[in-house]
């Protein structure tokens, strides 16, 4: 009887650990807002990659029910996305944003990308001091910024799009006002270098 109690206790601890891991991964996927690799998730959570992949597979199954979110997976990367069944409502929100003027946060973020790009989301957030996932997504949808994958695990690099240049009537970012001063601010450069080392 005592052995069974010990065994059950161990199983309960394992189950709690599994739930905690899934909770951590869920939060990371939500905050990231971008596809993120299992290797990076493992590094952040301090859990072996194979255990992270098992937990993500379990989360994928859990989200397949009547939920508003889904976990997408491709090439070893994962992303939290809205359910396809709710696309008409999501499209209404997005189209409303496209027709609205740029918010102050969007202008700030776009300026950082324009003067300091190519730049990672983490570096943008280090400069602004707030989460920029939603704002960057909006700018991507509007076609004002573009993103490209990096060869390491830093995620995406953001830069202004050709549509943005055409909209302003310039040929390159170097033609932006005060380019030389704003694109080479020493304090910002030091902050970006520090942020890159921390990633």
Give the CA dihedral 108, 112, 113, 117, nearest 10 degrees.
Answer: 180
98 versus 162: the higher-pLDDT residue is 162
Residue 8's pLDDT is 47
2-57 pLDDT per residue, tens: 444 444 443 333 444 778 888 899 888 887 767 788 888 888 888 888 899 999 98
Give pTM, 2 decimals: 0.52
User: What is the domain extent for residue 41?
Assistant: 2-83
Residue 88 lies in a domain: no
140-150 pLDDT per residue, tens: 888 888 888 77
Residues 118 and 186 in one domain: yes
Residues 52 and 20 in one domain: yes
Alpha carbon distance 1, 126 (integer Å): 56
Residues 114 and 184 in one domain: yes
Residues 69 and 106 in one domain: no
Domain count, the chain: 2
Of 83, 113, 142, which marks where a domain is finished? 83
Across 68-94, average pLDDT: 73
Residue 95 lies in a domain: no
């Amino acid at each position: 009887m005592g052995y069974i109690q010990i065994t059950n206790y161990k199983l309960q601890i394992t189950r709690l650990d599994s739930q905690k891991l899934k909770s951590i991964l869920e939060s990371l996927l939500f905050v990231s807002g971008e596809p993120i690799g299992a290797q990076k998730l493992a590094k952040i959570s301090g859990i072996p990659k194979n255990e992270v992949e098992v937990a993500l597979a379990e989360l994928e199954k859990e989200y397949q029910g009547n939920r508003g979110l889904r976990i997408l997976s491709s090439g070893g990367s994962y992303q939290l996305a809205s359910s396809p069944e709710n696309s008409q409502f999501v499209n209404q929100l997005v189209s409303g944003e496209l027709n609205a003027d740029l918010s102050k946060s969007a202008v700030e973020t776009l300026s950082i990308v324009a003067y300091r790009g190519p730049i990672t989301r983490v570096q943008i957030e280090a400069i602004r001091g707030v989460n920029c996932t939603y704002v960057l997504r909006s700018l991507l949808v509007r076609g004002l910024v573009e993103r490209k994958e990096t060869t390491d695990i830093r995620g995406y690099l953001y830069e202004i799009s050709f549509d943005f240049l055409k909209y302003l009537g310039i040929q390159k970012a170097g033609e932006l006002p005060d380019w030389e001063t704003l694109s080479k601010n020493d304090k910002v450069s030091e902050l970006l270098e520090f942020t890159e080392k921390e990633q």
